[in-house]
Amino acid sequence: MAEEVKLIGLSMSMFVIRVKISLNLKGVKYENLEETFGSKSELLLKSNPIYKKVPVLIHNGKTICESMIIVQYVDDVWSDAGPSIVPSDPFDAAMARFWSYYIDDKWFPAYGEVIKGQTREAKIEAAKEAIATLQPLEEVFQQQSKGKDFFGGDTIGYLDIALGCYLGWIKAAEKLTGLEFFDKNETPLLAAWAECFYSNDAVKCAVPDVDEFVEFFH
């Protein structure tokens, strides 16, 4: 059976970027159904009646919602295509899930305050607090990466995607605040990771140009 894969998304959404990276890693071709910012299509409302949010993956007519649930689904369905996204070791997988949860629970709202900040000073203050929520991830990287480039080891994994989807937004915030979110002295491993992640082909074609994020900020 020919696979029919559609993604309802918004190119600027970090959560949509997660799904695109996972599909790219697996080499899955998909039709991109771009929503219009500020409105919701009939298809979106029908496909995600509970949350009415992107991303929604439609795979052979079945709809899957919530970004990290979709990432896991993509890994499960295309398990033989490309490297595994979810770590195969149960403890590593649990750690990846825990820190992914932490990122959405602690880092995301802290980062949201940077966007909301009305003045440059307010953005800088909010950015400092957001940066503080990243600190524990330096040690997590050391434990998980085992000396390799990614949280997932040699290849991009679940936690890389959970955090890395924010890199475009982070670069925009760095431009606007003059702060380094992944400081080379404070969090050298994360700083090196961010460069590695951002230059990966599966990521590059999933993330809009940084100027688009800056524009959005304004």
Residue 153: strand, helix, or coil: strand
Q: Which stretch binds a copy of itself (CB under 8 A): 92-100, 119-127, 176-184, 197-205?
A: 92-100
Instruction: Answer yes or no whether residue 72 interacts with a copy of itself by CB under 8 A.
Output: yes
- Alpha-carbon distance values, 139 to 90, 136, 142, 185 (Å): 19, 6, 5, 14
Q: Which stretch binds a copy of itself (CB under 8 A): 27-35, 68-76, 116-124, 200-208?
A: 68-76
Provide, rounded to whole angstroms, the least separation between the CB of residue 207 and a copy of itself.
Answer: 24
Q: Which stretch binds a copy of itself (CB under 8 A): 8-16, 69-77, 122-130, 184-192?
A: 69-77
Answer for which of 45, 81, 94, 205 binds a copy of itself (CB under 8 A) is 94
Provide, rounded to whole angstroms, the least separation between the CB of residue 76 and a copy of itself.
Answer: 4
Distance separating alpha carbons of residues 115 and 210, to the nearest angstrom: 15
Let me know: does 187 contact 44? Beta carbons within 8 Å: no
Pick 120 or 146: Cβ nearer a copy of itself: 146
In this structure, is the dihedral angle defined by the CA atoms of residues 109, 197, 172 and 206, taken in order, positive or negative? negative
- Residue 188 tokens read as 């050298």
Task: Give the start-end residues of each E strand in the chain.
Answer: 5-9, 31-34, 56-59, 62-65
Q: Which residues bind a copy of itself (CB under 8 A)?
A: 50, 59, 62, 64-66, 69-70, 72-73, 76-77, 90-91, 93-94, 97-98, 101-102, 136
